[in-house]
Structure 1
Amino acid sequence: MGIKKENLETIFEPFKQTEKGGENHEGTGLGLSISRQFARLMEGDITVESELGKGSIFTCTLKMMVQTKIEDFVKQPSKQIIGLQPSQTDYRILVVEDVKDNQLLMMKILSSVGFEVRSANNGQEALEMWQKWHPQLIWMDMRMPVMDGYEASRRIRQLEAENPNRQTPVIIIALTATAFDEERKAILEIGCNDFVPKPFKEAVIFEKMKQYLGLEYVYQESTINLSSHGTVNEVDNFEQLNAEMEKMPKAWVEELRKTALSAREKNLIHLIQEIPEQYFFLADSLNQMLEELAFEKIVNLTEGFNHE
């Protein structure tokens, strides 16, 4: 418990761990380094205070604008993609990801709008699937067992170069949690067309596919209007949702927030089932958000409550 004084700054260095963490072989020693870089990119920082034998306090500060009026949040309509425009090619998309939950989430997002989607658990499976199925685009995780995304992408480009008339080069977009420019540069050098940082946003996924495949989507316009010009029902619904959320235990709200942040559908289903029957409006609203994979909306709903 706690960190030695001489280790307080080194723990923010890449691949560095405390003695205890190193002995247990937990993690890679990149988490704090990446988190601090993100904080500093947002004009903030992460600092630590610690006393050996007692414990540690990590503080994250960020420069942000505080919204003071509800209407500040709701002026722009949001566009929900519900499908692909007709008369387009049947697009085959390969998702390469070793973490099952992440793989299933990506497949559900893509298949919900009409893509033909298959998955691979590592780079070796991806290579075999690419040779047999010929996808137009591959979402490639870079850190995997057996064969990682770097080697798989390199081999695909090598085989394409050896057989230039075989097929149109596949689009490869890397999925990476790295915040280092050197590694992102390496991703492009091995032949990936682009990269998307984790955790990804659904809108970014669709935008990248539109950019590289020339897609046209079908949108469902949905304006959430809680300003003074909104309808009475919309404001009432918003207030009822918050009122029922306030009735739930703080520990439950915090678990809901954490689960939504990690996009764990099964866990969210269990949490929603714990809602008492009298708060049916909250349960129905959360179920609808879950069906739409609107994890960000669920997270936003928990804001304003004290997180432990």
Structure 2
Amino acid sequence: MLFWLPVAAVTAFGAQEATPTVCLADQCQVQLKEAENQLLQSRQKAVEAHHREAEARRLALIFAIMMIAAVLAGLALYLGRRAAAARVRSRHLQAQADAAAEAGRAKGAFLANMNHELRSPLNAMLGFSRLLMAEPSLSARVRQDVAIILRSGEHLYALINQMLEISKIEAGRLGLDLVQFDLYALLEELEESFSLGARQKGLQLLVGAAGTVPRHVKTDVVKLRQVLTNLLTNAIKFTATGSVALQVEARFHAERTHLSFSVTDTGVGVGSEEVRKLDGTFMQAQAGRHSAESTGFGLSVTRSFVQLLGGELRVTSQAGHGTTVQFELPVEVVAGARAAGAHDSPRRRVTGIAEGQRGVRILAVDDWPEGRQLLVRLLEPLGFEVREAADGLQAVEACEQWSPHLVCMDMRMPVMNGQEATRRIKAQPGGERIVIVALTASSFGEEREAILACGCDDFLRKPFREEALLELLARHLGVRYEYETLLPEREDETPRASMAALPGPLREALGEALGRLDVDAIERAIDAVTSHDEKLGRRMAELAGLFDYDRLRKMLEAAPREGAA
């Protein structure tokens, strides 16, 4: 240790001498170091700033990516929910469509059932009422009661038709069934149907056609008849005095023929504002709302039918001055048609089959006993041989054993329906020679096509008229008929002397009763005339039984009074 002391002293002394130079160098080095440090620090700060900026950019990029991812995730979620909602809506719409289709099928089945269940009893009611009206032994009072039943049944039938047609319009099942028919006969039928109601109200019913109107045309006769029936019903219902007129004219446009129909009445009429409102389905005029019989949908059905037939309904009216309803329809004129002005022999009631044609066999097939009995009552008195079958299976067996010439086949029956029975009958040996006529309440065109496709030779809709059935038998079997002998028009002139010889009080009582259309008073007056002149009384009773009060009035007016020059 002592050894190191001199050395330390020497070193210290040397260090003292070199201090200024060393200090300057050290200072320079320190300054350089500081400068380097500052440069390093500035570089470090720049790097740190760069790192911070890069980190910021990275964070911003990450945030942007996260935002984009969130937006995309939200969009994917939204689209997924929309897709799920669309699938749910699609399934819902499909379920609705299936339900609507099922409802349509159910509605179609319901309408078919309602057609059958309503029209079958109506067919029997109207048919037997018409049979009673033709019974000569009925008294005038009983005939009047039967006429009320018949008229009420026909009114009910018209209402049922309107309701069913409205249902078919809603179900989209309304179509056209174009057939050839006799327009002149249709007008006569309408005049005959409405003449009694018009006479009872003291109205004059005028039905006519211009001479250029073709007799045989082709259109949907069922819908045309319903249109004219609705219009005439309303016209008579809302007319208290005066007249109701149905007029038909023909208009020729290039190669097309149009028939113009107009129904004019002198009734209550409607205002111009109400006319504009009558387009609604169940809209009624003021007069209709005051009528207990008005339903409000007759005009809607009429308008729909006219449009379907290719025309447009036009109503012109003035309150208190009557109404005119007019429409024009395109029709096809059947070759060989004649004008409606051509005079044919008047319509006559069939009394039997012409000589040499006996033994015509008819099979009546219907699950309704009344329906079969109606056919028996209509055909047997005319000379036809008629047997009955309650279902399709019995019909097939009857055709095998009895071989009828014609089968009146109901379509809706238990055990075996009419279509299957028709196919089996046509498949039998000789079955192709048996004429099968479908009796059905259906009014759907596609059902008629299916019925004819199964082998039926023709189609007759319930309720049917005797004339339509007999015309069908004549067309398919070539049957000829004998007719009642019509009394000459001059027969009303034969009792002129007897009428002139009637005492004044009897003539006045009969005239007043006819003026009031009082059925009881007319019957009492005729009874009094019969006590005075039996032959004249019987003739009057015959006309009264036919409700031909116009001819009674003409007889009374044409005969000179007793003592007159």
Q: TM-score, normalised by structure 2?
A: 0.33
The Cα shift of 1:146 comes to 2.1
The Cα shift of 1:98 comes to 1.8
The answer to whether the 8 Å contact 1:34/1:178 transfers is: no
Higher-Rg structure is 2
The answer to whether the 8 Å contact 1:173/1:194 transfers is: yes
Change (3 A) 1:91 1:233: same
Q: 1:200 aligns with which of 451, 464, 470?
A: 464
Q: What's the counterpart of residue 451 of structure 2?
A: 187
Instruction: Note the residue ranges of structure 2 that are not aligned, 5 or more in a row.
Output: 1-103, 119-159, 175-221, 232-280, 285-293, 303-324, 328-340, 500-509, 528-537, 550-565
Q: What's the counterpart of residue 351 of structure 2?
A: 82
Structure 2 counterpart of 1:84, one-letter code? I
Alignment of 1:237-256 (within 5 A): 243=514, 246-247=517-518
The answer to whether the 8 Å contact 1:84/1:217 transfers is: yes
Q: What's the counterpart of residue 440 of structure 2?
A: 176
Q: What's the counterpart of residue 268 of structure 2?
A: none
The Cα RMSD (Å) is 4.7
Q: What's the counterpart of residue 304 of structure 1?
A: none
Aligned residues: 227
Q: Percent identity?
A: 29
Structure 1 SS opposite 2:282? strand
Whether 2:484 is the aligned partner of 1:220: answer yes
Q: What's the counterpart of residue 17 of structure 2?
A: none
Change (3 A) 1:182 1:88: same
Q: TM-score, normalised by structure 1?
A: 0.57
CA distance in structure 2 between the aligned counterparts of 1:233 and 1:243, rounded to whole angstroms:
21
Q: What's the counterpart of residue 57 of structure 1?
A: 295
Q: What's the counterpart of residue 5 of structure 2?
A: none
Change (3 A) 1:222 1:41: closer
Q: What's the counterpart of residue 33 of structure 1?
A: 164
The answer to whether the 8 Å contact 2:358/2:383 transfers is: no
Q: What's the counterpart of residue 416 of structure 2?
A: 147
Structure 2 counterpart of 1:135, one-letter code? P
TM-superposition CA deviations, 1:81-138 (whole Å, max 9, x none): 1111222251110011122222211111111110010111111221121111111100
Instruction: Note the residue ranges of structure 1 that are not aligned, 5 or more in a row.
Output: 1-12, 51-55, 66-71, 250-275, 289-296, 302-308
The Cα shift of 1:211 comes to 1.1
Change (3 A) 1:95 1:49: same
Change (3 A) 1:224 1:108: farther
Q: Which has the higher helix share?
A: 2
Change (3 A) 1:41 1:170: same
Change (3 A) 1:244 1:177: farther
Structure 2 SS opposite 1:78? coil
Alignment of 1:283-298 (within 5 A): none
Q: What's the counterpart of residue 113 of structure 1?
A: 382
Change (3 A) 1:245 1:60: farther
The Cα shift of 1:42 comes to 4.8
Whether 2:388 is the aligned partner of 1:135: answer no
Structure 2 SS opposite 1:191? coil
The Cα shift of 1:16 comes to 3.7
The Cα shift of 1:58 comes to 3.5
Q: 1:48 aligns with which of 266, 269, 282?
A: 282
* Larger RCO (CA within 8 A; separation ≥ 6): 1
Q: What's the counterpart of residue 101 of structure 1?
A: 370
Structure 1 SS opposite 2:485? strand
CA distance in structure 1 between the aligned counterparts of 2:418 and 2:449, rounded to whole angstroms:
14
